[in-house]
Amino acid sequence: MLKLDLLPFEIPFKHPFSISRKTKTFQPVLIVRLTQGELVGLGETTDNTYYQMTVPKLMESIEEHRAFIEQYSFTDPASFWADLYPKFQDNLFALCALDLASYDLYAQQQNKKLYELWQSDTSKNPLTDYTIGIDSIKNMVQKMQEMPFPIYKIKLGTQEDLQIITELRKHTSAIFRVDANCAWSAEETIKNAILLKGLGVEFIEQPLPSDDKAGMKLVFEQSVLPIIADESCITESDVKECAGLFHGINIKLTKCGGITPALRMIAEARKLGLKIMIGSMNESTVGTSAAAHLLPLVDYADLDSPLLHAREIAQGITIHQGKISYSDKLGAGVSLKEEG
């Protein structure tokens, strides 16, 4: 038997967070708490207008199946996910929160930290980047200088994209990654990649709309920089489709439905020779901490969300100069600071 609690929060950003298609000043999130006996597991999902997900919709979806969840004889996360999937196949965001909470709970029951469930060596974990959202060039430089970091992810999709990277490069020798969030054409991407490579950019994330597969094929063949899929890689079935169109994929737990499918996506990507990034969707420390336990299994990390927030609702991982450190707690290592 499980006890289910749903805790909604709105977390303000330190600065307005802008990408090519929108600007946000706060992030609505939903924390799911599963209690069994004296142990508590926490999971998280976020709202996202691009995927037509709101916190009320997420709560409604979970509430519809509250009886099933609370009467469930929980044994392990993979079985839990498989039994929930038929009920949540149209709302993987909600399923993610339940899956993360079940993993946190299960790892505690096994007296282990989450990464220990898959016997991972954390000694070579990749560093996370720090995201610079779209703004005036002056403000983007200022944001970068506020947070000295070894790797920056620069959001692009403006009329000044190349000028932005050129100017930012004057102020740091850090690695740059750029994310156009579907704002470029194939021709722009191929042309931009040449200059961006000379400016120390490591790779380009999702330059084209996800439905432009012909354009992506052209970019894949001609770009001088690697291309990483984001909007083109949402769920497990998308991984195979990305082979031959992208050099790597960005796995986001909220989009794919949690850790259970993410582990399968990682295995499939490795078979296909794709690089793997573990990303985030502005989750709090709860969701970010869970994702961080996958770091030993991936090549790149984009898990800086807690650093972008003006306040944090939970304790868990800490981030210093890109290095993510786990807490001493078992499971995902998280605890809430406040109630929703």
pLDDT in tens, 55-98: 999 999 999 999 999 999 999 999 999 999 999 999 999 999 99
pLDDT in tens, 246-261: 999 999 999 999 999 9
Residue 340: predicted pLDDT: 59
Output 338 or 86, whichever has higher pLDDT. 86
Can you tell me the mean pLDDT for 215-242?
97
Tracing tokens 């000028």 back to the chain, one arrives at 163
Fold of the 117-336 domain: TIM Barrel (3.20.20)
What pTM was estimated for this model as a whole?
0.96
Q: Which residues pair with 325 in a beta bridge?
A: 318
Options 3.40.50.2300, 3.30.390.10, 2.30.140.10, 1.20.1600.10; CATH of 3-112:
3.30.390.10
Neighbours of 191 (CB within 10 A): 15
Give the start-to-end residue ranges of the domains of the chain: 3-112, 117-336
**DSSP secondary structure of 271-314:** HHT-EEEE--SS--HHHHHHHHTTGGG-SEE---HHHHBSS-SE
Q: In the predicted model, is pLDDT for residue 41 greater than 70?
A: yes
Fold: same for 3-112 and 117-336? no
